[in-house]
Structure 1
Amino acid sequence: MSVLVEQAAEHWQYVAPLVCKPRTEADYDRLVAALDELLDLTGDDEAHPLNSLVDIIGDWIEAYDEEHRPMPQVSGVKMLASLMREHGLTQSDLPGVGAQSVVSEVLSGKRQLNLRQVRWLAERFGISAEVFI
């Protein structure tokens, strides 16, 4: 048996709860709490030896969320309206989409966003263009 496997076997009872995919809400909650602690411990140190464990647990939490708490699909128009409310913007504040009348038509569903407008909105809000498609 290699030294690495021997050491892992020796400490497995302590490590095992952290390296098991969540199957229940209790598992999920335990991993979220562990991830919070690990992030406090590792901080901004990208070379910290525990960062690989942070990545693994983060991936498992994300996968559990996607399976058990899927995000509702929102239309690009609803997303735009939501972002405008969130940022306190009016229709006139989006010149990259067009004049206020064009934005109004987009928001009312009378007009669809074109590729240029989608790209502008994605850059304006710092999010993926896919959100508006």
Structure 2
Amino acid sequence: MKNEIKLIKTEKDYKEALKLADKLFDAKPDTPDGDKLDLLVTLIELYEKKNFPIENPSPLAAIKFRMEQLNLSQTDLIPIIGSKSKVSEVLSGKRTLSLNMIRRLSSELDIPAEVLIQPYDAIA
């Protein structure tokens, strides 16, 4: 891929695209090389999305991860989820998330709704 940008169809194309992107990494925006880099990064992202998909975490894992990121305790979730017992039941997997909880968690903790609406089994 001698500075030629083309669709990435194979592992070889992918590796060549990564090498070229590395060479163009310091290109200034709105220059011919900057435009090449933007296009190349888009093609690389499409190839990676198709060939190396990343699954969403479970709703509970996402909530716990976000709590850790924001240094939140279970008590901090009471205004979002409801009561202390509801928070405990949700985080232990004994209670599934309601639509209202999903909306509030998405809004307040900035967790994508598509992650929170995934089905999961509550522990009986």
Q: Which amino acid aligns with 2:15?
A: A
Give 1:1-133 correspondences, 5 Å limit.
15-16=3-4, 19-22=5-8, 23-24=10-11, 25-34=14-23, 36-38=25-27, 41-42=28-29, 48=30, 53-94=36-77, 95-133=79-117
Kept after mapping to 1: 8 A contact 2:62/2:115: yes
* Equivalent residue pairs, number: 112
Structure 2: distance between partners of 1:71 and 1:79: 14
> How far is 1:15 from its partner?
4.4
Deviation sequence 1:11-62 (CA, Å, 0-9, x none): xx9641xx22333252242254256334xx11xxxxx355654543232121
Q: Decide which structure has the larger Cα Rg and report it.
A: 1
Larger helix proportion, structure 1 or 2? Answer: 1
TM-score normalized by structure 1?
A: 0.67
Higher relative contact order (CA 8 A, sep 6+): 2
TM-score normalized by structure 2?
A: 0.71
Q: Percent identity?
A: 30
| Aligned-CA RMSD value | 2.5
> How far is 1:125 from its partner?
2.6
Q: Name structure 1 gaps, 5 residues minimum.
A: 1-12, 43-47
